[in-house]
Structure 1
Amino acid sequence: MSENPPNQPGRPEDPYGEEPTQPTPPQQPYQQPPSYQQQPPAQPYQQQPHHEQPGSGGQQPFYANAASSAAGVARDDTKGLLGSLFDFSFANYVTPKIVKIVYVIVTILLALVWLGWFIFGVVTLFSDQWYIGLFTILFGWIVALVYLAIYRIGLEVFQAVVNISEKVNRYAERDGIV
């Protein structure tokens, strides 16, 4: 027979002869170990190290006015359209004020040109070259829309350059460069 005594009921068989240990309960998922749970509180803003801004005489954090200056990037409309047109110092940009007017004028002119093409197409329908009139009526509006899109893109480029320039000037004023 065998030399091993039978297992006692309720105890698992241990082939190595060691005492079974109590299993540790599993930790909750996404739980940090106890050593990381007690972190020191963050220091207040005033106790952070300060960096000096170029051109400023005192100690001031370089990011202290970031939110207020970003909110202050909005355009100065202190002068009207005529005031901006005759501003020989170029302190105020006229492009933001005039771009809407130019776009309305271009839209009206292109609509009138398309209307002229349409009338030309209708008149040529009753002539020997009726296919030119038909082509003008069917596709003249597409040509007008393409020209309108080209003018719009050009005006948006001008507007974007002026917006970038205004923001750069505001940040330069904030940082004391200008």
Structure 2
Amino acid sequence: MSTPYSDPYPPSHGGPAGQSSPTGTEPAGAPNPFSKESGFFSALTDLRFTKFVTPKVVSVVYVLMAVAIAIGLLMWTITAFAIMATGDGEASAILIGLLMLVAGPIVALLYLVLARVSLEGMVAVIRIAEDVAAIRRR
């Protein structure tokens, strides 16, 4: 997150011939390529890559990753029980199954943390780019 700061240069309210922009910091009619108001499909079809799609889809991607990790954990758990059941009571099969049952949730949690940190890093880079573009427009 960015912290608010005081702007040493107050916005100009008058442009050429007394025109003013809606925000007071840019010329009237100047496009804002990094505006958050652009739609998903508009950003997706932007061939100049001036609009970002990542902030719009990151929550969906995170949910899909969490679901995939949960399905993987479920399959891992089923496999652990299958190994214990088909081991004919051998100690090694039971031990391997129990180790899988203990390790599965730990590995799934690590994957979820790694996915979250990766997505947060991507969003942070995009927000930095948006903030730099906003500073450049001043």
Normalising by structure 1, we get a TM-score of 0.55
Aligned residues: 107
> Superposed, which structure 2 residues align to 1:139-158 within 5 Å?
139-158=103-122
| Structure-1 residue corresponding to 2:58 | 99
| Structure ranking higher in helix proportion | 2
Which segment is superposed worse, 141-150 or 89-98?
89-98
In 2, distance between residues paired with 1:77 and 1:120?
45
Query: What's 2:98 paired with?
Result: 134
Aligned partner (choices 74, 81, 93) of residue 115 of structure 1? 74
C-alpha distance in 1 between matches for 2:73 and 2:41: 32
AA at the equivalent of 2:114: I
RMSD: 2.0
Q: What is the rounded CA distance, in whole Å, between the counterparts of 1:62 and 1:146 in structure 2?
A: 45
Structure 2 unpaired stretches of 5+: 1-6, 12-23, 26-33
Deviation at 1:62, TM superposition (A): 4.2
| Separation in 1, partners of 2:39, 2:66 | 24
Displacement of 1:76 in angstroms is: 2.6
Cα deviation code 1:94-138 (max 9, x no counterpart): 110111111111000000000000111111112141211111112
Post-superposition shift, 1:80? 2.1
> Equivalent pairs: percent with the same residue?
34
Query: Which runs of 5 or more residues in structure 1 are unaligned?
Result: 1-60, 70-74
Return the index of the structure with the highest Cα Rg.
1
What does residue range 26-175 of structure 1 map to in structure 2 within 5 Å?
62-65=8-11, 76-126=35-85, 127=87, 128=90, 129-174=93-138
Separation in 2, partners of 1:168, 1:79: 18
